[in-house]
């Protein structure tokens, strides 16, 4: 007979295992968000990449694109998944732009709340936050291949 | 005195910039970097008195950028570098320009602008931006840096869609530039001029070329014009890009303050074909270049035709912060005389003076986003690319060098 305590411990262990396996997908996967007044609801991966590398100036309505990035592990996930780069490659890319005068890196904010606040205030902004952090102040964009 | 004042200004800007970190939307952004290296070579000097070991391998730079209006950016970089006899820590304007971008397809830059040439020319002075201390010398040689680094003039640039292929970046330019008095090319030209003087003086009076003076003490280089462009295809294959760069220009040589030029270096074309493939851990790069040029001194053509330059480089991120790079780099002074025999017959110099083959291995360690340290070893076969100018008793064929460098940037 397995004691109630043992069953409880096994359930907790199983829960932790599931969280460790799928927690990234459930809570850590960044999603792309834009200002609520942005008419677009979908972007391709290539379009997202162009915007966050400073290679697309403006949205189709002429409003300047204003990318914003977030510090921390979420940046590693974003840079790897959406830009196809390592953190080092991404950092060097923007340093090349900066030290040759060809571009300024996007502002870097500390957390989801900071990014939401920026994106909600700037008409042309685009950023990324944790999926769980999406609220009514920003619009989530669907990204297709 | 002016140099000292500018150096103090540079240090003040560096300290000010160090206090301004990467927060959002600052009107003026100050960044900078400091690099210090050590170079030691065996058998031959490499662009400096490196056989005894030298710390004359350093850069200090401060960059100021601003976006004062929509679509408009202005910026400048001050740079003080020291590489052997070149630079000597004198503060100079590295680049400074205004950039107006009308839309994705077209923008204009006016000022002193880093020249788009190959994959890495624009960033060559920022040590922390590339995996090795020395970029492949066949294409990015330090001796010709002052002729290749920037242009003062106008450039147009942009990104064009190429739906089936990816996106196309382009940059076209026309302008000129100034050679600093301590440029390394002057050392080579002076050595060539002295060689011609010596040969001429050895002939009986009646057979001497009257255009060649009895002696030469110094030479000044000036540029008449430079023009060119680059297109980069960012393909639909993630990490793969290709580029084509083309350059043309004309330089004049003035020996001993002569009021008229006594030589010229015409670059009819310098064409570089580039290929880079990058994954998160691996970067593969190769470039091929031919430079079609004519060099004359005192009415005598002492170099004509095409040089051939190419390299293959692989960098691999071994661990999170440690990158290993392998390089094979080749330069031939004459594409059609790769054995150097025709050169040897013509000049009486050894055949290996006309090529330079470099096999190198290096490690780069990124302590964090600001600190980088590198070390590398190069094994060289050949004495082309100005080796004779820094080894007056005659460079050896096989030689090698070590280089280490630490960089801090913010």
The whole-angstrom distance between A128's CA and the closest CA on chain B is: 16
Taking alpha carbons only, the member of A120, A109, A115, A126 closest to residue A47 is A126
Taking alpha carbons only, the member of B277, B356, B285, B347 closest to residue B314 is B285
What is d(CA A129, CA A75) in angstroms, rounded to the nearest whole number? 9
**B69/A contact by beta carbon, under 8 A:** no
Inter-chain CB proximity B114 and A101 less than 8 Å: yes
Q: Which of B31, B99, B104 lies nearest to residue A98, judging by beta carbons?
A: B31
The answer to whether residues A131 and A29 touch, using CB atoms and an 8 Å cutoff, is: yes
* Mean of all residue pLDDT scores within chain A: 85
Q: Please give the interface size between A and B, counted as residue pairs whose CB atoms are below 8 Å apart.
A: 86
The per-residue pLDDT for B346 is 86
pTM reported for the whole predicted model:
0.87
The per-residue pLDDT for B262 is 94
pLDDT digits (tens, 9 = 90+) for A56-104: 999 998 899 999 999 889 999 999 999 989 888 999 999 999 999 999 9
What is d(CA B359, CA B328) in angstroms, rounded to the nearest whole number? 5
Distance between alpha carbon B324 and the CA centroid of its chain, in Å? 23
Statement: residue B317 has pLDDT above 80: yes
Inter-chain CB proximity B97 and A101 less than 8 Å: yes
Query: What DSSP designation does B319 have?
Result: S
Distance between alpha carbon A131 and the CA centroid of its chain, in Å? 9
Identify the weakest region by mean pLDDT among A25-29, A73-77, A107-111, B112-116.
A25-29
Query: What DSSP designation does B192 have?
Result: H
* Mean of all residue pLDDT scores within chain B: 91
Statement: residue B13 has pLDDT above 70: no
- Supply φ then ψ for residue A44, to 5 degrees: -85, 165
The per-residue pLDDT for A44 is 93
Handedness of CA B115, B118, B122, B126 (dihedral sign): negative
Strand partners, B39: B54, B403
B67 to chain A: nearest residue by CA?
A104
Interface test mutation site (partner B, options A44, A47, A50, A100, max chain B beta carbons within 10 A):
A100
Q: Which of A56, A100, A109 lies nearest to residue B114, judging by beta carbons?
A: A100
What is d(CA B313, CA B135) in angstroms, rounded to the nearest whole number? 10
Taking alpha carbons only, the member of B227, B230, B271, B264 closest to residue B249 is B227
Percent of chain B with pLDDT over 70: 94
Structure tokens at B262: 């006594």
The per-residue pLDDT for A7 is 64
The per-residue pLDDT for B21 is 36
What is d(CA B128, CA A99) in angstroms, rounded to the nearest whole number? 11
Inter-chain CB proximity B278 and A50 less than 8 Å: no
* Ordered DSSP codes for B217-244: --EEEEEEEEEEEEEEEEESSTTEEEEE
Query: What DSSP designation does B331 have?
Result: E
Percent of chain A with pLDDT over 90: 71
State the complex-level ipTM: 0.86
The per-residue pLDDT for B72 is 93
The answer to whether residues B101 and B159 touch, using CB atoms and an 8 Å cutoff, is: no
Structure tokens at B54: 């030298």
Structure tokens at A67: 């990318």
Inter-chain CB proximity B29 and A104 less than 8 Å: yes
Residue appearing with tokens 């677009």: A40
């Amino acid at each position: 007979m397995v004691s109630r305590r043992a069953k409880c411990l096994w359930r907790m262990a199983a829960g932790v295992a599931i969280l460790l396996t799928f927690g990234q997908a459930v809570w850590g996967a960044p999603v792309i968000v834009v200002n609520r007044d942005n008419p677009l609801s979908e972007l391709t991966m290539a379009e997202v990449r162009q915007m966050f590398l400073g290679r697309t100036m403006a949205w189709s309505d002429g409003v300047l694109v204003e990318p914003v990035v977030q510090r921390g592990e979420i940046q590693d996930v974003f840079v790897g998944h959406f830009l196809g780069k390592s953190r080092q490659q991404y950092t060097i890319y923007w340093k090349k732009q900066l030290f040759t005068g060809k571009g300024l890196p996007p502002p870097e904010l500390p957390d989801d709340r900071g990014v939401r606040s920026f994106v909600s205030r700037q008409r042309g902004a685009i950023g990324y936050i944790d999926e769980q952090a999406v609220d009514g102040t920003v619009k989530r964009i669907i990204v297709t291949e | 005195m002016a140099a000292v004042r500018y150096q103090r200004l540079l240090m003040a800007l560096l300290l000010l910039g160090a206090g301004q970190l990467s927060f959002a939307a600052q009107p003026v952004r100050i960044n900078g970097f400091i690099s210090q290296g050590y170079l030691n070579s065996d058998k031959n000097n490499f662009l400096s008195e490196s056989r005894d070991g030298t710390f004359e391998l350093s850069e200090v730079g401060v960059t100021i950028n601003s976006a004062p209006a929509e679509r408009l950016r202005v910026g400048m970089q001050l740079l003080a570098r020291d590489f052997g006899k070149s630079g000597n820590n004198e503060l100079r304007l590295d680049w400074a320009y205004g950039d107006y971008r009308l839309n994705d397809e077209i923008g204009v830059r006016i000022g002193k602008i880093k020249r788009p040439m190959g994959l890495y020319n624009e960033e060559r002075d920022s040590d922390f931006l590339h995996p090795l201390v020395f970029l492949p010398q066949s294409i990015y040689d330090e001796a010709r840096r002052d002729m290749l680094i920037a242009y003062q003039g106008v450039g147009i640039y942009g990104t064009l869609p190429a739906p089936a292929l990816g996106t196309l970046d382009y940059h076209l330019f026309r302008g000129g530039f100034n050679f600093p008095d301590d440029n390394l090319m002057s050392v080579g030209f002076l050595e060539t001029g002295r060689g011609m003087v010596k040969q001429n003086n050895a002939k009986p009076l009646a057979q001497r070329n009257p255009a060649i003076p009895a002696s030469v003490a110094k030479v000044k280089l000036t540029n008449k014009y430079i023009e060119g462009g680059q297109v980069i295809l960012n393909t639909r294959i993630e990490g793969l890009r290709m580029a084509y760069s083309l350059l043309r220009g004309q330089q004049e040589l003035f020996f001993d303050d002569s009021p008229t030029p006594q030589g010229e270096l015409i670059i009819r074309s310098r064409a570089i074909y580039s290929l880079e493939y990058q994954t998160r851990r691996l970067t593969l790069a190769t470039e091929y270049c031919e430079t079609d040029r004519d060099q004359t001194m005192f009415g005598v053509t002492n170099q004509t035709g095409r040089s051939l330059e190419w390299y293959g480089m692989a960098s691999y991120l071994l661990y999170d912060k440690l990158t290993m790079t392998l390089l094979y780099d080749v330069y031939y002074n004459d594409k059609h005389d790769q054995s150097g025999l025709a050169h040897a017959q013509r000049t009486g110099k050894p055949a290996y003076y006309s090529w330079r083959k470099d096999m190198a291995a290096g490690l780069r360690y990124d302590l964090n986003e600001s600190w980088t340290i590198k070390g590398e070893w190069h094994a060289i076969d050949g004495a082309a690319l100005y080796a004779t100018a820094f080894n007056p008793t005659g460079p050896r064929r096989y030689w090698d060098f070590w280089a280490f460098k630490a960089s801090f940037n913010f």
